[in-house]
Structure 1
Amino acid sequence: MDFQKKMKDAVNWFDRLSLQQKLIALYVIIIIIPISIFISIYSSNVYDRAITEISIKSENALEIEKIHIKNNIESMRRTAQMVVSDMEFIDFVKSRSEANVDQLIDFRMNELSNVTRLQANNPAIENIRLYTTNPYVTEMWPILFKEERIMEKPWREEVINRNGMEVWWFDQQTEDVLERLPSQNTAKISLLRELDYPKDEHLGIIEINMFLKNFFPKMFGTVQDPDSVYVVIDKDNNMIRNFQHTFFEDEGIDTKDLQRQFNKSKPEETGSFQYDNNETPYLVISAYIDDLDAYLLNVISLEGLYAETAKTRNVIFSGIIFLVIILSFVTYVLILLLLKKMYKLKDSMERVGHGDFSVDVEVDGQDEISELAFHFKSLLGKMNGLIAEAVNKQAAAKETELKALKTQIDSHFLYNTLENIKMMAEIEGEYAISDAVTSLGEMMRYNLKWKNDFVILEEELNYIKNYVDIMNLRLDGQLTLTIDVPNELRDQEVLKMSLQPIIENAIKHGIIPNHQEDRGILQVSARYSDDYVTIDIQDNGVGMTPEQCEALNKSLQTGVEHQNQGSKGGNGIGIQNVNERIQLYYGTEYGVYVTSVEGEFTMVTLKMPCKIMKGGSQSV
């Protein structure tokens, strides 16, 4: 009831406005509403394109980072393998007798030095350590240590249970193996392997570690983007990040909430998702690192992009509002000048309304208002004559009914919408949907842009390809389309939509009734003979009896509609109409002819004059 009352009040207010005010109001509304819609759609498209560009750029950066990470992984693996393969070093570690001073000096100068050189040759590697259970081995810093030093490490049991398989472990801040105080920036990643020698006899644990700032160069780089940050989610759902980068603190992001959002949409490989935190939009791009069983994430703040888009939208809208105000003022003045005669006529009518029938209507010109004034003046003369005769006449006026404008959907909007759906499907990996949307878009573009009745054969063939692709969605890919058309005939002039009705007819009435038994095959071929071209469309469907085929060809020759269900396509054009169109444009010596064998095939032959459209036709 409140809404109806408000609407009634608005209508009453509008009715009280003068004609000049109504025209200005309508002028403003007609301009503002479409422009507002356009600006909104345009801004949304610009924002979406910017998001797409950011996603592509971030994905490329993640791939480069993955290459650096894989190189570091291979470097650490190679170092661990070289330590394990150094049999003299291993023999010393597994020795069950206490070494004398000469043996210790020789080991330190040779085997231990070899391992130390491995670290020197790989400056990114921070430590190479072997923790041994052999009580006869003396600790030698910085390589050889007793395993009792790592008994409380959370990763020890997991490494032993993996039976020689590597374990990757992240430490955001680790204590020194010599139990000194923790140092700053000691975040490391460690490659851990059990050393068993002989087989199944635990000898110790090898640790190769590297600072995270060397392992993840993007995450710990010296130059940091204030609007984005790199983090890692490991296999235990722990977040590893650079705490010196204050992105999360500056943005007020709850890292636990980010992890929950990521777990909801966790991809198998590379993926992305958006979420809002404190009314600020964020884009998260993720890449899976299979060696670490972890995900590398790039969290990007879209606040700047959103603000820039909103600022651009507001500037454009403000400019348009200012322009509308100026134009409204100019329009107001112009309407005032145009309606000057009408106001003079209105004043004269008001005087007549008050009983002054001696009014002289002084309106000159030849426009509609002047004509109206002339007729009004004539009316006054007649009224004065009729007053003497005491005859009053009534005048009736009819209101012009406003016809509603038929809403039209802008074709470019449809194409852009289909393109967005296609992109979304590709991002989600739904390539069948993406291909179907592409085919549908090309069919719509072909149908809606009808500026010429003639197209080249190449364009008609592309159209039926798209049609068959879409039908294959419905028929689970049961259709196969083969095209055998020489290149010199692909520029042949054909009537637009002359092949599709026949293809549709073949699928609906020939192949679909039989598609459970055999795969549907459609063959399109063309050949040149003398001064005309024939196009054959053949299917392997149910076919027709000789009587049915003869009756169909007779109906094509006589123009009498054939009643057999095979004569009409699903869209109402049918073989009969295709034949009539060909004969209408080219003459009765051309047209359509059908041959068929029941249970084997049906072939429809189109005959038309040879007219090569040089360079093709773009007017479809």
Structure 2
Amino acid sequence: MYSVNRRERARALWHSFSYWWGRRSLQSRLIAAYVFIILGPCLLVSVYFYESINNTYLRDAVEKNNYLLQMEKLHIYNQIEAMERAAQMAYSDTDVEEFLANETEPQLVDLINFNTNAYVNMTRIQFNNPNIEHLRLYSKSNKVHEIWPIIFREERVSSKPWFQKALQLKGQEYWSFQKSDPDLMQRYLEAPAESLPKVSLLREKSRPADNHIGMVQVDMLLSRFTPKTYTDVRDNQTQMFLVDSELQVFTRPDHSFLQDNLKMSDMIAERYKHFRETGAWDSEYSENGRSFLLINTPLERIDAYLLNVVSMEGVMKDISRTRNLIIGANVGFITLLTLIAYVTNAFILKNLRRLTETMKKVRRGEAYSGIMIRGGGEVGELAHHFSKLMNTINTLVAQAVSKQALSKEAELRTLHNQIDAHFLYNTLENIKMLAEIENQRTISDALTSLGGMMRYNFKWSGEYVKLRDEIRHIENYIEVMNIRFEYPVKLVLHIEPRYLELEVLKMSLQPIVENSVKHAWCGEKENLQDPSIHIHISETEGDIFIELRDNGMGLTPERLHALNEAIYAKDERCESTAELREADRRTGGIGLRNVHQRLQIFYGDEYGLVVQSEAGSWTMVRLTLPKVLLTGDKQL
């Protein structure tokens, strides 16, 4: 029910809009059409360009920051290689290995030799790699003398989780990220650990296999390991993060996105957890009304990730500025187009307004004095046809006045003819009475038929009669004409009773029958034994076909062609009416031509008659007229 009401309201709203729109001026509708036609493509092009520019800005931002990310990744890999080289040099030094594995109290001479040779080599490793913060060697033996800041006993760090994890790897590299760099030497017992995040490379030493003797540790501060992550440059648009295998997040503490976006750290950890499980990475993030782009690259060698978080605020400002420019350009273009269309339409439609004003004056009854519109085009053609129409109307008005006068005159003549017709009717009745007194039945019947014909001709109350009346008139004509024939002409009717109520033009069949009686058996002896005229009526798709066929001498192709020319010719084909009548008389087509023209005048050009014939056999005339009852009904 609710949807039906909505449809009704929508339909009513549409009808109201259609009514309002239909009452607008042509100029207003043309301008609205121009704007609508241009607005659609403009919007499509603008949306396309906006999307293209938006994608371009985003792509540039991604490419630029991904490039920075890859450069930082390359720097990290260089630092990894430096740490691995340092660890390998310490790991492979045999003197160091002997010192760490010593289970007895070393002699003074051994300590001096180790300190002057192997220990110096260890310090040289750190000196040659200034980015390395610590190079530390841990010994399991309690007999080993600690030589700060490189050689320590394991008991100082054996309880640390990172130490236990490295111990489980049995000589393989283990990378550990820590939030601080504690002082193992504990020189200042009350001093807090420095908040200096670092990365450590640890490698367990065994001799022989599975015989643990110590651990090698190479430390580097994250500010040197990944300088762009801990940069001091104030950049509110981008920030790099380092995420280790345990999903710890490391980044600069100052000017950090984490200060204003408290959920970002947890979000990064959750995203990497999801990335490890599914391999799918979501690069978009929003918090506090700000949008960020997350560009990720893995650090496979240390089982960590490098993340560049890009603030989209600057990019969105550029996109918004571009969008405003596009909207402004569209508004300006459409405004300019509207002004141009208004001026142009006003100039073009000026002549149309003149023509409209002239039509209004004519409608009010003012005399039409003509309109002059220069130039061509539809408006000029419309003005030309309007002038022709007004001239035709004036001509028709004059003809109507003339016809009205002629009608009055015809009415007077009709009254006079009726007086004459009564005299003739009375005279024929007197002659008929004399014939009956003299027992001349043939003459009496002929006079009866002739009287019927005369009444039919003189009683011209309208152009249309019933088919039965026209058929009766033909029968009277045949009876009168048979007086002079030795072999009377037979009229054979093939007409269903329902067609007798059809409307036909008065005197439309009699000229055709008369033409057959006069010409069909002229000079033909063998067909005089049984002359006949057959009338058939058929119907197709609302049209009636009346066929009158005789069995006379027929027409040769030449005479048939001449007859058709006479029937279908216009008045202009002869220089004068006298010439036209002479041509019709020679071909015997005066009556047929008159019937054809009357049918076309009253019914239309698609109606009329057609003549067909075969020399020596027959001639057929087919009339085509609409199926109409005398009452005007189109159905029988």
Q: Provide TM-score, normalisation by structure 1.
A: 0.57
Question: Which residue number in structure 2 is paired with residue 356 of structure 1?
Answer: 365
C-alpha distance in 1, partners of 2:261/2:384?
75
C-alpha distance in 2, partners of 1:351/1:193?
109
Partner residue of 1:274 out of 283, 289, 292: 283
Residue identity matched to 1:364:
I
Does the CA-based 8 Å contact 1:231-1:241 persist in structure 2?
Answer: yes
Residue identity matched to 1:255:
S
Question: Which residue number in structure 2 is paired with residue 450 of structure 1?
Answer: none
Question: Which residue number in structure 1 is paired with residue 151 of structure 2?
Answer: 144
Identity of aligned residues (%): 31
Q: 1:348 to 1:66 in 2, by over 3 A?
A: same
Shift of 1:169: 0.3
Q: Deviations over 1:541-600 (max 9, x none)?
A: xxxxxxxxxxxxxxxxxxxxxxxxxxxxxxxxxxxxxxxxxxxxxxxxxxxxxxxxxxxx
Shift of 1:170: 0.4
C-alpha distance in 2, partners of 1:316/1:152?
65
| Matching of residue 92 in structure 1 with residue 102 in structure 2 | no
Partner residue of 1:256 out of 258, 266, 269: 266
C-alpha distance in 2, partners of 1:8/1:308?
45
C-alpha distance in 1, partners of 2:79/2:93?
21
Question: Comparing 151-160 with 248-257, which one deviates more in the overlay?
Answer: 248-257
Q: 1:283 to 1:331 in 2, by over 3 A?
A: same
Question: Which residue number in structure 2 is paired with residue 296 of structure 1?
Answer: 306
Residue identity matched to 1:202:
H
Question: Which residue number in structure 1 is paired with residue 223 of structure 2?
Answer: 213
Question: Comparing 373-382 with 201-210, which one deviates more in the overlay?
Answer: 373-382
Residue segments in structure 2 that go unaligned for 5+ positions in a row: 1-6, 402-636
Partner residue of 1:176 out of 173, 178, 183: 183
C-alpha distance in 2, partners of 1:260/1:9?
57
Residue identity matched to 2:228:
K
Q: 1:247 to 1:162 in 2, by over 3 A?
A: same
C-alpha distance in 1, partners of 2:291/2:46?
21
Question: Which residue number in structure 2 is paired with residue 52 of structure 1?
Answer: 59
Does the CA-based 8 Å contact 2:182-2:194 persist in structure 1?
Answer: no
Q: 1:369 to 1:93 in 2, by over 3 A?
A: closer
Does the CA-based 8 Å contact 2:167-2:204 persist in structure 1?
Answer: yes
Question: Which residue number in structure 1 is paired with residue 75 of structure 2?
Answer: 68
Partner residue of 2:121 out of 114, 119, 137: 114
Q: 1:16 to 1:250 in 2, by over 3 A?
A: farther
C-alpha distance in 2, partners of 1:23/1:152?
88
Q: 1:361 to 1:40 in 2, by over 3 A?
A: same
Does the CA-based 8 Å contact 2:57-2:319 persist in structure 1?
Answer: no
Q: Deviations over 1:54-83 (max 9, x none)?
A: 444444433332332222112212212222
Q: 1:198 to 1:102 in 2, by over 3 A?
A: same
Shift of 1:148: 2.1
Residue identity matched to 1:277:
S
Question: Which residue number in structure 2 is paired with residue 307 of structure 1?
Answer: 317
Does the CA-based 8 Å contact 1:287-1:297 persist in structure 2?
Answer: yes
Q: 1:41 to 1:262 in 2, by over 3 A?
A: farther
SS in 2 for 1:124: coil
SS in 1 for 2:318: helix
Partner residue of 2:211 out of 201, 219, 226: 201
Question: Which residue number in structure 1 is paired with residue 251 of structure 2?
Answer: 241
Q: Deviations over 1:401-451 (max 9, x none)?
A: xxxxxxxxxxxxxxxxxxxxxxxxxxxxxxxxxxxxxxxxxxxxxxxxxxx
Shift of 1:225: 4.2
Question: Which residue number in structure 2 is paired with residue 160 of structure 1?
Answer: 167
Does the CA-based 8 Å contact 1:93-1:132 persist in structure 2?
Answer: yes
Q: Provide TM-score, normalisation by structure 2.
A: 0.56
Question: Which residue number in structure 2 is paired with residue 453 of structure 1?
Answer: none
Task: Please give the residue correspondences for 1:178-577 in structure 2 after superposition, counting only pairs within 5 Å.
Answer: 178-179=185-186, 180=189, 181-223=191-233, 225-249=235-259, 254-264=264-274, 274-278=283-287, 280-353=290-363, 355-367=364-376, 368-384=378-394, 386=396
SS in 2 for 1:134: coil
Shift of 1:313: 2.9
Q: 1:293 to 1:15 in 2, by over 3 A?
A: same
Shift of 1:272: 7.3
Does the CA-based 8 Å contact 1:131-1:205 persist in structure 2?
Answer: yes
Q: Deviations over 1:197-236 (max 9, x none)?
A: 3432222222110011111133223445432222222222
Question: Which residue number in structure 2 is paired with residue 34 of structure 1?
Answer: 41
Does the CA-based 8 Å contact 2:222-2:230 persist in structure 1?
Answer: yes
SS in 2 for 1:277: strand
Higher helix proportion (structure 1 or 2)? 2
- Aligned CA RMSD, in angstroms, stands at 3.0
Question: Which residue number in structure 1 is paired with residue 451 of structure 2?
Answer: none
Q: Deviations over 1:323-377 (max 9, x none)?
A: 3212311321221122122122222323333x32424454432433243234334
C-alpha distance in 1, partners of 2:339/2:144?
97
Does the CA-based 8 Å contact 1:357-1:384 persist in structure 2?
Answer: no
C-alpha distance in 1, partners of 2:136/2:10?
79
Shift of 1:261: 3.8
C-alpha distance in 1, partners of 2:361/2:281?
76
Shift of 1:315: 0.8
C-alpha distance in 2, partners of 1:376/1:113?
117
C-alpha distance in 2, partners of 1:149/1:6?
86
Residue identity matched to 1:124:
N
SS in 2 for 1:314: helix
Residue identity matched to 2:299:
I
SS in 2 for 1:226: coil
C-alpha distance in 2, partners of 1:12/1:280?
49
Q: 1:48 to 1:272 in 2, by over 3 A?
A: farther
Q: 1:129 to 1:251 in 2, by over 3 A?
A: same
Q: How many residues align?
A: 389
Residue segments in structure 1 that go unaligned for 5+ positions in a row: 392-620
C-alpha distance in 2, partners of 1:31/1:182?
72
Shift of 1:127: 0.5
C-alpha distance in 1, partners of 2:342/2:203?
86
Does the CA-based 8 Å contact 2:200-2:217 persist in structure 1?
Answer: yes
Q: 1:235 to 1:343 in 2, by over 3 A?
A: same
Question: Which residue number in structure 1 is paired with residue 141 of structure 2?
Answer: 134
Does the CA-based 8 Å contact 2:101-2:141 persist in structure 1?
Answer: yes
C-alpha distance in 2, partners of 1:299/1:84?
38
C-alpha distance in 2, partners of 1:287/1:325?
50
Shift of 1:298: 2.1
C-alpha distance in 2, partners of 1:286/1:36?
36
